[in-house]
Structure 1
Amino acid sequence: MKKLWMHSQKLVQMMSLIFVAALAGCDSNQDIAPSASTANLQKAHGAETKIFYGPATEVGEGTARVWVETLQGKPTALGIELTEEALNNLEAYDLFETTLKLPGQAHATGFKTVAVGWNPMGHEPEGVYTLPHFDFHFFLQTEGQIMQIEGGPDPEAWSLAGTVFPAFYTFGPEPLAVPHMGVHWVDFRSPEFSPAGFSRTFIYGSDQDKVTFLEPMITLEYLLGLAVGESETIPVPSLLSYEDPGYYPESYTISHNTDGTYSIILTDLVWHNSNR
């Protein structure tokens, strides 16, 4: 299998310093008038679609919130909405990661924790991810479980290659876990490993022999380059097997909405039973 260096010990130490434990609860059941992005989903899926929002949390100079779309009671999309102000003056901010509160209805998806991270200098490998970017983590673990994930070598990750993760997903020469996250798996077919360079990519995470998170990773330049009303939907490679039953995305969507907000959405959610 082709091997790509993903994280060095320096990155492990750096990321351990930026994880912010901010989840105080996730019982919001707010069902309010949809934003521009969720209104489009409602229009596409029909009148029985409902959107539920978590409370807004400060991110940079703006806010972010989690929302879930349901159709006849079943989740079809799980998103993060950023206000335009959240992208302002980010050069003044160091590394951070902020956990967002989920609306109660989001529990049905199987995702338990959602966080937004800002990385102003990027990270290794040099020349690949060394651009200012956001990490949008959708965790399958609770905050308590996440905090128990230790950094360093994780040899059990080898067992997931080609059995849980497709063969084109890999890590560096050795599986090295970031504290409170896990081993990061990258799709070596992605644009960042070609002359096109890094703009947006989709990463999977693992700890020991379990999948821990799904992560759209998106550069600031890409987000700022989206015209108002513009969106892009990109297919998500499916896992080969599932341990945690839940709704998993077949695509993810990035949009700059007509109300000025930005959305990063796990779309086309499909239920998968445990089959490991």
Structure 2
Amino acid sequence: MARSALVLALMACVALLPSGTLAKFWYGEKKDYDTIIGVRGAWVRTYMETEKVWTRGRPAKAVGVEMSKALFDNIEKVPRQQMTVPPPINFNLDGFEVILAMPDQQQAHSFSKVRINYNKGGHPLAGVYDVDHFDVHFDWDPQPVWDTMFNLTTGPDGPCEGVTPDKYSRVFEPLPKQCFPPDHTQAGQLEWGHGSHLFPLKAPEFNPPRRFNQTLIFGTWGGQVRFVEPMAATSWLKSKAVTGPGSKGVFFSIANPAYYPDDRYVAGRYGYIWSNQKTLKFELRSMRRAAVGCKYNPRLGWAGFRPPIGTPNTVEVTFSPVELCPFPTPDTWKPAA
């Protein structure tokens, strides 16, 4: 066996060792782009970091996505798909998405998969997110749960921004207020395959409105928070704020809801790390178990209704006819018994 092959085999064995081992990094699914873009060493993968001696059942120190510099530097060579968003948005989307499984150590984290998007020219909200950037969606639910709403095999299945009227209404179900991230608002748009996004109104890009450097948003459908999504502009990821000498990464706090609907791990911080200028990491850390308690409380009420047309800091997609594609409002919302 060649020396390089032996080293790779040993690394694979270490990553699969059971609890109590000296393993520090556990790797999930990897996507190689060498032959796709003709650049050697272009890849992206998921990972989990644990203590050097990890006991099964203890939370991970961090989970994330690691991208080689070769892929980052040549990201625009990856084939992209184009889509035009009709009036009143009038936006040309140009990007690609790759879905990767997270490391299968569910006792240490609760994330099933990650969806990585590169958006050439960005996406709505115009004037805020319309710059070249990455979106990294960390999904709690496994794919079969997502398939009940957005089936990747069959594709869009209805006239309401790609879903049936019933699913459209489900996407915009409100959440008990204690389970809604503080100081966030619904984006006012259904994005097929994702659901509805929640914008952080206290983030720098909204005070005053301007093009963002980095941020974190949440995603919902069916009356639950389904994913957490760090976003970062390509130009900012190249700046000294992230790449400065001796940088150990740039991290920010996450404004989690006070409660979640089930027992899961959530992250307290997110950030970006250039590891020896060879790989870029999009990372969640400070993992903890969420407080559970999403039973409706009349004293607190509901949060997260689809905002009325004309609300500031929303996408305002209106090309789905209201009479065909209804959505819950404070006056009409009646949760299932």
Shared topology, TM-score over 0.5? yes
TM range, normalised to the smaller chain?
0.7 to 0.9
1:201, distance to aligned residue in structure 2 (A): 0.6
Quickly say closer, same or farther: Cα 1:107–1:221, change in 2 above 3 A.
Answer: farther
Task: Look up the equivalent residue of 2:181 and give its one-letter code.
Answer: P
Q: Is the 8 A contact 2:62 2:283 kept in 1?
A: yes
1:204 to 214, 218, 232: 218
Q: Is the 8 A contact 1:148 1:180 kept in 2?
A: no
Q: Superposed, which structure 2 residues align to 1:1-276 within 5 Å?
A: 31=14, 50-58=24-32, 62-71=42-51, 72-73=54-55, 74=58, 75-93=60-78, 94=80, 95-106=95-106, 108-150=108-150, 152=161, 153-154=168-169, 157=172, 159-160=174-175, 162-172=177-187, 174=188, 176-195=189-208, 197-225=211-239, 226-227=242-243, 229-230=246-247, 231-276=249-294
- Structure 1 alignment gaps of length 5 or more: 1-27, 33-46
The Cα RMSD (Å) is 2.6
Q: Is the 8 A contact 1:115 1:136 kept in 2?
A: yes
C-alpha separation in 2, matches of 1:140 and 1:29: 26
Q: Is the 8 A contact 2:171 2:190 kept in 1?
A: no
Quickly say closer, same or farther: Cα 1:194–1:243, change in 2 above 3 A.
Answer: same
TM-score w.r.t. structure 1 length? Answer: 0.75
The structure with higher relative contact order (CA 8 Å, sep 6+) is 1
Q: Which has the higher helix share?
A: 1
Report Cα offsets for 1:16-65 as digits up to 9, x if no partner: xxxxxxxxxxxx97645xxxxxxxxxxxxxx9772211242135652111
1:257, distance to aligned residue in structure 2 (A): 1.3
Q: Is the 8 A contact 1:118 1:133 kept in 2?
A: yes
Residue 17 of structure 1 corresponds to none
Task: Look up the equivalent residue of 1:267 and give its one-letter code.
Answer: R
C-alpha separation in 2, matches of 1:110 and 1:91: 32
Sequence identity (%): 24
Q: Is the 8 A contact 2:134 2:232 kept in 1?
A: yes
TM-score w.r.t. structure 2 length? Answer: 0.63
Quickly say closer, same or farther: Cα 1:90–1:29, change in 2 above 3 A.
Answer: closer
Residue 326 of structure 2 corresponds to none
Q: Is the 8 A contact 1:159 1:209 kept in 2?
A: yes
Figure out how many residues of one structure are paired with residues of the other and give that number.
233
Instruction: From the CA coordinates, give the structure whose radius of gyration is larger.
Output: 2
1:156, distance to aligned residue in structure 2 (A): 6.3
1:162, distance to aligned residue in structure 2 (A): 3.0
Report Cα offsets for 1:65-89 as digits up to 9, x if no partner: 1111223332221111110011123
Q: Is the 8 A contact 2:46 2:100 kept in 1?
A: yes
1:199, distance to aligned residue in structure 2 (A): 0.8
C-alpha separation in 2, matches of 1:107 and 1:210: 22
C-alpha separation in 1, matches of 2:173 and 2:282: 30
Residue 4 of structure 2 corresponds to none
1:146, distance to aligned residue in structure 2 (A): 2.1
C-alpha separation in 2, matches of 1:160 and 1:30: 44
Residue 5 of structure 1 corresponds to none
C-alpha separation in 2, matches of 1:154 and 1:192: 29
Quickly say closer, same or farther: Cα 1:146–1:247, change in 2 above 3 A.
Answer: same
Task: Look up the equivalent residue of 1:250 and give its one-letter code.
Answer: G
